[in-house]
């Protein structure tokens, strides 16, 4: 069993739809990261969470520490949001457990 489970694995949405990607983890964490990886391979860190909720533009990330669950929401999705979204649990300073990623395609 993986320490970090993401769902869904693949997601196709119409432009404008509200999108949710889920992440469950089984380890004790110091922080939970949401990363965005584009087809070229570069990774952008979207959020680092240790509690509550964070919002940046159309992106919202929430975490429930008791339930060991986090969600990434995208409001009013756009084709440029198409990417792989990765949930990563930071256990210690250098130890990360990664989810397998959610490949999102937003169709115009």
Partner 1 sequence: DGGITQSPKYLFRKEGQNVTLSCEQNLNHDAMYWYRQDPGQGLRLIYYSQIVNDFQKGDIAEGYSVSREKKESFPLTVTSAQKNPTAFYLCASSVRVLETQYFGPGTRLLVL
| Residue ranges that bind partner 1, judged by CB under 8 A | 31, 33, 35, 37, 39-48, 84, 93-96, 98, 100-101
Strand, helix or coil for residue 86: strand
Helix (H, G, I), strand (E, B) or coil at 79: helix
Question: What is the nearest approach in angstroms of partner 1 to the Cβ of residue 100?
Answer: 7
Minimum CB separation from partner 1 for residue 106, in Å? Answer: 18
In the complex, minimum distance from the CB of residue 16 to partner 1, in angstroms, rounded to a whole number? 26
CB 97, CB 91: distance < 8 Å:
yes
Q: Which is nearer to partner 1, 39 or 108 (CB)?
A: 39
Return the C-alpha torsion angle 66, 76, 55, 41, nearest 10: 90
């Amino acid at each position: 069993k993986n320490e970090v489970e993401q769902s869904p694995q693949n997601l196709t949405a119409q432009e404008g739809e509200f999108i949710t990607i889920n992440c469950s983890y089984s380890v004790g964490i110091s922080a939970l990261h949401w990363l965005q990886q584009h087809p070229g391979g570069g990774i952008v860190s979207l959020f680092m969470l240790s509690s509550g909720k964070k919002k940046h533009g159309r992106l919202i990330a929430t975490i429930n520490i008791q339930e060991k669950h986090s969600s990434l929401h995208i409001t009013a999705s756009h084709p440029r949001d198409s990417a792989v979204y990765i949930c990563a649990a930071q256990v210690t300073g250098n130890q990360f457990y990664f989810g397998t990623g959610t490949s999102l395609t937003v169709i115009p």
